Amino acid sequence: MKISSSFKVGILTLVALSIFLFTVLWVKGRSFSSAERIEVQFKDVNGMRPGSGVQMMGLRVGQVEEIKPVIEGESSYVKLRFVITEPDIKIPTASMLTIQQSGLIGEQFLEITPPKIRSVYVPVADKQLLVSGSDVEIKLDEKYCNVGKVKKSQILSTQQVPEEVRDTIKTNYAYKIDYYINLPGLIIPTFMRGQIVSENGVKKLRIVPLDNSPLPYPQQTSPYTVVEPMRIADFMDLQYKAAESLTEMTGVVNELLSDKMIADLTKSVSNFKDLTAQATTTLGKAEKLIDSSKNDIDAMLWLLTDATNNFNKLATNINGVVSDEKFKPAMFETADAIAKLSKQLTPIIGSVNSKEFGEDLTSLMRNLTEISTSVNQMTKDEHLKHKISDSIDNLNITMCEVSKALETINGQGDKDNLKQIVEDTSETVGNLKKFSEKLNKRFLLFRLLF
């Protein structure tokens, strides 16, 4: 069969049109794949164009089909639609979408990063492990929310725990709990602290930032976590602000470290060295003093210990006396007797000149003492000594009788008779005083003669 020239021209025309159409669609980023189209919102795509690649873990899995700005006042955004061309590729929930660039001036592409598996170490409080699939919660906007799941957990020795968190583990064993975040839009710090909590009998993993900083609840409409790109202008602006802060800090440091300040610091350091040397010398002298006084200190401590023991014995004895059942009645009875004695003795003694009586008694005792001393010095006559001693004994007997008479105050004796006895005693003491004065004068004459 012979093909006509017209047919060949038609075929070539269709092929050319197909190639042209395919090229146009490829340039515009439209794919012929029947996979689902995914739309996300960026505030800035940093110059990305349709047809840019979509990568997951470094592999190209699709391409960007459409980039369209949406102007809605202050809430304007850029709508980006892409498609996954590779079969059997599914994007996990809460995957991170970022705009990356290959090299400094290379092609831009959309990077998809699945949720990372993180690890946290918790001290072992019991032997129950968190099962796979347990909830992970964190405090967002003053409320605890479930934000992820536990992948697996195991018990490790404390020595197997990384050094940066080993100090926080006070037990011999620790849980190593692997988890991932599945709440779209939530970005948490790299290092977290964990705690196993129980709610309604269900165990959960509660995570907290190391600095306990509060985290806001993410305002995300997409099932993925969109990370806005940083443009070169923004990066340079941050660098400029950092340089300004560094310049300002350098100026403040220069002002603080002026020549006068450095001289003062040098002088302070020198004074501190001198003070340290003096303190060292003083401590050395104190140490020598303590060493030389060690025996005295030991003796003083021994005396204090002995005094403490004696005081304890005294306290024990006093407690024993006070706790005696017979002590209080006897004490009260004695106090009553003294009170009665004072009441009964007052009217009796009052009839006698107590002051004159006391002076006479004192003078009598003084004269008798002088007479006895003189006799002992001037003579060795034992007979005379015996007489003087007998006189003094008689006087003592008389005084004892007076005391006995006073003791009858507590009884039912005749107060008038006792009063008479006191008066007679007072008169007797006065006569004895006169006699002792005369006797003392005679002994004085006797001493002058001899």
Query: pLDDT at residue 351 above 80?
Result: no
Joined tokens for residue 50:
């349709």
Residue 205's Cβ-count burial label (10 Å; 0-12, 13-18, 19+) is: buried
H or E stretch at 314? helix 294-322
Query: pLDDT at residue 29 above 60?
Result: no
413 versus 94: which is more confidently predicted?
Answer: 94
Instruction: Report the Cα–Cα distance between both ends of the chain, in Å, rounded.
Output: 197
135 versus 4: which is more confidently predicted?
Answer: 135
Cα gap 196→122, rounded to integer Å: 8
What length is written for the chain?
Answer: 450
Q: Cα 259 from chain centroid?
A: 42
Q: What is the pLDDT of residue 302?
A: 81
Return the bridge partners of 207, or none.
194
Query: pLDDT at residue 207 above 50?
Result: yes
145 — pLDDT class (breaks 50, 70, 90) = very high
231 versus 381: which is more confidently predicted?
Answer: 231
Residue 74's Cβ-count burial label (10 Å; 0-12, 13-18, 19+) is: exposed
pTM score over 0.85: no
| Residue carrying structure tokens 């990305």 | 48
Cα gap 423→409, rounded to integer Å: 16
Q: How far is CA 2 from CA 6, 7, 8, 9, in A?
A: 12, 10, 11, 14
Query: pLDDT at residue 403 above 60?
Result: no
439 versus 244: which is more confidently predicted?
Answer: 244
Torsion sign, CA atoms 216, 217, 220, 226: positive
73 versus 215: which is more confidently predicted?
Answer: 215
Q: What is the mean pLDDT of residues 319-337?
A: 60
Helices 354-378 and 382-407 cross at an angle (nearest 10°) of 160
H or E stretch at 390? helix 382-407
User: Helical H runs in 58-203?
Assistant: 163-166
Cα gap 187→236, rounded to integer Å: 24
- φ, ψ dihedrals at 36, nearest 5°: -70, 140
Residues 40/84, Cβ–Cβ less than 8 Å: no
Query: pLDDT at residue 56 above 70?
Result: yes
Least confident of 118-127, 253-262, 415-424: 415-424
Q: Name the residue among 423, 371, 377 with its Cα closest to residue 392.
A: 371
Q: In what order do the strands lie in the sheet with 96-101?
A: 37-42, 77-84, 59-70, 53-56, 108-113, 96-101, 225-226
288 — pLDDT class (breaks 50, 70, 90) = confident
Query: pLDDT at residue 411 above 60?
Result: no
| Residue carrying structure tokens 């470094």 | 58
Beta pairing, strands 96-101 & 225-226: parallel
Q: How far is CA 417 from CA 277, 278, 350, 396, 401, in A?
A: 90, 87, 15, 21, 14
CA Rg value for the chain = 58
Cα gap 110→67, rounded to integer Å: 12
